[in-house]
Amino acid sequence: MTARDELISYINELAVFRGDFTLTSGAKATYYVDLRRVSLDHRTAPLIGLVMTDLISDIPDVAAVGGLTMGADPIAAAILHQAVARGLEYDAFVVRKEPKDHGRGRQVEGPDLAGKRVIVVEDTSTTGGSPLKAIEALKKVGAEIAGVAVVVDRKTGAKRAIEDAGYPYFAAISVDELNV
């Protein structure tokens, strides 16, 4: 079984819920994929790192990965650790929903990203709103967006929204591969 197959199995077991849900976008759904159940689990976080590093490793000159807090944070950390094990040098960053109102007032935390190519990551993507919000903040600090990479694409418009905004979109797993 590949790391990707194992990750899909864990997502199905631990993170797929059926019922009536309201998503971040406000849309209603009959299932919910709670990837924090796997991205913060000791068995599956390394698998996410492996699968996502495989997904983005051919994208040239990537300096860092990250996205809008909170869904992207464990994904970026998992990629950072697995990439280092492969000899890749990806840093991680966090994008706050709003700039801090104290300290240095930063919205993007982590290394200096000015002039650097970055991948915006997301756990589950529905509309693409969270990655696009992260991209707005990253452009303000001078980062170059190399693409958006998500663990699970719900196939509800995120790919189109990201690509229409001019960015490559990569998804490790499609909702069609899950037991929803």
Higher pLDDT, residue 23 or 158: 158
- Three-class SS string for 113-139? CCCCEEEEEEEEECCCHHHHHHHHHHH
Secondary element (H or E) of residue 152: strand 144-153
Can you list the domains of the chain with their CATH numbers?
3-177 (3.40.50.2020)
- Does the structure show a pLDDT above 70 at 10? yes
Amino acid at 118: V
Q: Which residue has the tokens 């797993």?
A: 173
* Structure token pair of residue 135: 């991209």
pTM for the model stands at: 0.94
- Does the structure show a pLDDT above 70 at 14? yes
pLDDT tens per residue across span 21-75: 998 778 888 999 999 999 999 999 999 999 999 999 999 999 999 999 999 999 9
- Does the structure show a pLDDT above 70 at 103? no
